[in-house]
Amino acid sequence: MVIIMEGLYPPQSAKEIGKRWMEATAPWPDYITPKGAYISSATGEGIRAILIYEFDRAKMAEALEHIGSRIERYLDVPGYTYNIQVWNEAQEVMKMIGLA
């Protein structure tokens, strides 16, 4: 399963976000495989950062806690908002609905 985290912030906060990103030196736990950040800019919306975190379903609580603790460092950056979504693999969903 994966968590997809999207951060959104105004261009004037980009340097501060970048500084805090570079200061994040703590290693990821073995049970999380991070992918990203992928950055895009949209006129009128600001800058978007997408990060994907892969982990085993059995570690969901720990993964959410760890990812949440890393997001905390950005919460006081002006204009920063984020969204977290938990996504299941299609095969897991098929099992849930009795098709696998």
At 60-79, the pLDDT tens digits run 999 999 999 999 999 999 99
pLDDT at 84 > cutoff 80 = yes
Per-residue confidence at 44, pLDDT binned at 50, 70, 90?
A: confident
Cα–Cα dist 56/73, whole Å:
25
Element (H, E) at 33: strand 32-42
Phi, psi at 86, each rounded to 5°: -95, 125
pLDDT at res. 96: 86
* Domain of residue 20, CATH code: 3.30.70.100
pLDDT at res. 9: 97
pLDDT at 25 > cutoff 80 = no
Number of folded domains in the chain?
1
Average pLDDT over residues 12-19: 95
The whole domain housing 27 covers 2-96
